[in-house]
Structure 1
Amino acid sequence: MLRTIGVRIGARSHISSPLVFEQSLGEETVRGLTIGYQTFVNSEVRFACRNSRIAIGNRCMIGPRVSFETSTHNLVIEDFHDRVDETRLTFHRDIVVRDGVWIGVGAIILCGVTIGEQSIVAAGSVVTRDVEAGILVGGVPARMIRRIVA
């Protein structure tokens, strides 16, 4: 069914339901999603890929309730309540998950992040910047815990 609405999914991948897709009227929200072969996506994973792309590599494991968020906005603090016309500007950046990545339950992957091959994102982590290949990251915001691949 996902393939019929434009999601690209590699062979022998397993996608558990339900999945959550960002809803926005008049905009494509699922055609930016690519999932590689032999990848497992658990239930209640959220994909927000409006105006951007989410690319998940081959042989990845995505835990339940992981959230991929490709959009954010600028911070407007000065004279916030006195603004009339200006609003916060939303911008979008792609998310890339390389081959062999494991993302634990409830992790949040924010816009513009690339997670390197064979890395692990610990459960409940918030990934705000790129993750090197072969390391374990965890925390809020996620930081390197240790190298797992020499």
Structure 2
Amino acid sequence: MRLKRMKNLFFLGLANLLPGFSFVDAHRWRLFKQSGMNIVGPCTIYGPITLHNFSATHNIYIGKNVFINTEVRFACTTSKISIIKDNIEIGLHASFETSGYTIEYVDSKKRSIVDTIPITVKRIWISACITLLLYISISKYTAIAAAIVVNKDVLPQTIHGGISAWLIKKI
């Protein structure tokens, strides 16, 4: 187990430290896959990808033909799954905040963590500097503008922008 974790950290660090050349960017996904991420591939990852919990790489699923720009953050835990389905484009500094939890009182006077619903996206374009919060659903053929916080469901075939995300236009 310890050796596997060291291998995962090695490949994660290598993928994040390699320079941004077109050849490297086109094959960086293979290194992230070796680090434990479930990547169907092929995809383009500019990197680096920031993880809140290094032991949660196996809970990140990335589909085919995905484009991930630089400084994307996944805040997933070991008990939750983040899914990026096929044909997704993610702008730089996007943040997938799936690390939320609920603290509840238990008879034994201990706190416990109750998992939340993962974020699942399919066939959308996510622009730069956005934050996706918990309990949201993003429908197909959607564009999300830059520098916004998505805290509610996004309808299909729409463009959303603003703080908090609001409907700009139906497409």
- Residues 100-131 of structure 1, C-alpha deviation per residue, up to 9 Å, x if partnerless? 21001001011122211110111011011221
- 2:46 aligned to 7, 16, 21, which one? 16
Task: Give the AA of the match of 2:44.
Answer: H
SS at match of 2:34: helix
2:85 is equivalent to residue 61 of structure 1: no
TM-score under structure 1 length normalisation: 0.80
Amino acid at match of 1:7: M
Q: Which amino acid aligns with 1:65?
A: H
Q: C-alpha separation between the residues in 1 aligned to 2:110 and 2:165?
A: 32
How far 1:11 moved relative to its partner? 2.5
Partner residue in 1 for 2:60 = 33
Instruction: Report how far residue 72 of structure 1 moved.
Output: 2.6
The amino acid that maps onto 2:88 is: C
Structure 2 CA distance for partners of 1:10 and 1:73, relative to 1, 3 Å: closer
The corresponding residue for 1:143 is 166
Task: Give the partner amino acid of 1:16.
Answer: Y
Paired residue for 2:133? 110
Q: Percent identity?
A: 29
Question: Which segments of structure 1 move beyond 4 Å, counting only runs of 4 or more?
Answer: none
Structure 2 length as normaliser, TM-score? 0.71
Alignment of 1:78-97 (within 5 A): 91-97=115-121
Provide the secondary structure at the position in 2 that maps to 1:43. Answer: coil
Partner of 2:5: none
Task: Give unpaired runs (5+ residues) of structure 1.
Answer: 76-84
CA contact (8 A) 2:80 2:115 kept: no
The 3-state SS of whatever aligns with 1:29 is helix
Q: Deviations over 1:55-95 (max 9, x none)?
A: 111111100000000133569xxxxxxxxx898x7753300
Deviation at 1:134, TM superposition (A): 1.1
Residue in 2 that maps onto 1:80: none
Number of equivalences: 135
Given that 2:41 and 2:62 are in contact with CA atoms closer than 8 Å, whether structure 1 keeps it comes out as no
Which 10-residue stretch deviates more, 28-37 or 39-48? Answer: 28-37
From the two aligned structures, give the one with the greater helix fraction: 2
Contact 1:71 / 1:93 at 8 angstroms: preserved in 2? no
Write the letter of the residue equivalent to 2:70: S
Higher relative contact order (CA 8 A, sep 6+): 1
Do the aligned residues in 2 keep the contact of 1:45 with 1:67 (CA within 8 Å)?
yes
Tell me which residue corresponds to 1:81: none
SS at match of 1:92: coil
Structure 2: gaps of 5 or more residues: 1-30, 104-108
